[in-house]
Structure 1
């Protein structure tokens, strides 16, 4: 199946500091490309992979599980780690969940995390029925395009595949248990008006994560896909400042 427009993975070879960028569930690199390009413009080596089952059709996503998505994230990390002295991880929504799992697994190999509206806890109560409902219907209406800025679309699926959603739920349980072991510096950007991942998810992260270098910044003008919304530059500027604080300066190029 051909890729949707803008869903292509992105790679930039820059300096000795690497940035791995992780997109969200039913999304694609399209929603993260501006953030990745800003990191590249700062001179960082950047990897923005396309997660399995994404960027084509929602039915493809229903044939994959969290282990497949994580394997792609881990591979992107290992490639950067081979050529870079430090690696930071940026993530949106489920991309933030995968980033946290990577941080728990890799320890000091991950120098820091910048997360935007990360999914750490499944929203609402509808997910409780996933073990049964996923065998009855393949999908439900999608969660994409939660953007306050008029006319902006993230290029995500219009349906939520339920087998894949059930697998994502399994990963949330794993990561919740791992949070105390995540001790890397962490910068959290959170939208108070998020129609996909509500505030309890961010609160759970802040309460349980083991990081002592921990900062939360609110995105008052943006919804869930804040990387394409009114506060995008706030995210980009803040993440660059975060990386600069934790690394030696790099040369742009």
Structure 2
């Protein structure tokens, strides 16, 4: 009998309540979306830092994650967006304003929410978002995904010692093909993103190349957009040396873009 995978902390979703007494009597929400093959563990310190400022925070566990890597070969990118939308709607029920944020592939999901939900999204925070690639081998995915189930994983690209995002040690190729399929929808619609955008990018990233930066910065229609470089972090910057800076500057951003 096959072993039944379980969701155990810290891969489980997180839901932290608003504390309006810390935010001028207003309930403000933040949705944080983890990356491909990762888990909410990569976002937990960030979520807690925002919660400590009084913000309600939701960190959903995206379908196919937190169990076995094989499960990522049986979900679609729309499943990830549906789960994020459900978390977003939970925040909107209790909050006056909601900001969305994402790490890596989670950045694509956050951008899709900004595209489809319009003014319901007050702002977007991105950390090393993954919306494009210059790697030519991705062109082989439509065929390769049927021949090879997975390649060596990309989890824990973190400069700081003793950190763990609790991601998969394999890179499922059918799942990766869903990531690239999402790009074909998200990137052409970037012009629909008019909300303020705060973009953190690591100078030294061993998972994604630099192409996502111009794709987003030149694609969105936001008048309020800023890219900030991280000089002491790798891809999973939310667990790396620059994490405290991300936490502090994103909290300032949330306060600014949700101000009455």
TM-score by length of 1: 0.96
Return the offset for 1:5. Answer: 4.6
**1:12 and 2:16 equivalent?**
yes
Residue 123 to residue 157, structure 1, CA distance change in 2 (3 Å): farther
3-state SS, counterpart of residue 223 of structure 1: coil
Query: Partners of 1:65 and 1:178 in 2: how far apart?
Result: 19
In structure 1, C-alpha distance between the alignment counterparts of 2:76 and 2:61, rounded to whole Å: 14
| Alpha-carbon contact 1:58-1:160 (below 8 Å) kept | yes
After TM superposition, give the deviation of residue 151 of structure 1 in Å: 2.4
Alpha-carbon shift at residue 137 of structure 1 (Å): 1.0
Aligned to 2:246: 235
2:258 and 2:110 map into 1 onto residues whose CA distance is: 19
- Residue 110 (structure 1) shift: 0.2
Match of 2:124 in 1: 113
CA distance in 2, matches of 1:13, 1:155: 24
Distance in 2 separating the partners of 1:7 and 1:113: 23
CA-to-aligned-CA distance 1:39-98 (integer Å, 9 cap, x gap): 111111111110011011101111111011110001011111111110001110011000
TM (norm. structure 2) is: 0.93
Any runs of at least 4 consecutive aligned residues in structure 1 with deviations exceeding 6 A, and if so which? Answer: none
Pick from 205, 220, 224: which aligns with 1:194?
205
Secondary structure of 1:169's match? Answer: helix
- Is residue 2:175 matched to residue 1:179? no
Look up the SS of the partner of 2:167 in the other structure. coil
Q: Pick from 35, 57, 74 the counterpart of residue 46 of structure 2.
A: 35
In the aligned structure 1, how far is the partner of 2:221 from the partner of 2:202?
A: 22
| CA drift at 1:123 | 4.8
Distance 1:26 1:122 in 2: 17
Show structure 2 runs of 5+ residues with no match. Answer: 21-26
Worse overlay, 198-207 or 182-191? 198-207
- Distance in 1 of aligned mates of 2:10 and 2:223: 37
**SS state at 2:179 partner:** helix
Task: Give distance in 1, aligned partners of 2:140 and 2:64.
Answer: 23
More moved, 5-14 vs 228-237: 5-14
Aligned equivalents of 1:201, 1:44: Cα separation in 2? 29
Which of 17, 24, 34 is the matching residue for 2:35? Answer: 24
Q: Residues of 1 paired with 2:254 and 2:97: CA distance?
A: 10
Shift of 1:176: 0.8
The CA deviation at 1:180 is: 0.9
Partner residue, 1:61: 72
Q: Which segment drifts farther, 24-33 or 122-131?
A: 122-131
Structure 1 residues 22 and 123: alpha-carbon distance in aligned structure 2, compared to 1, 3 A threshold: farther
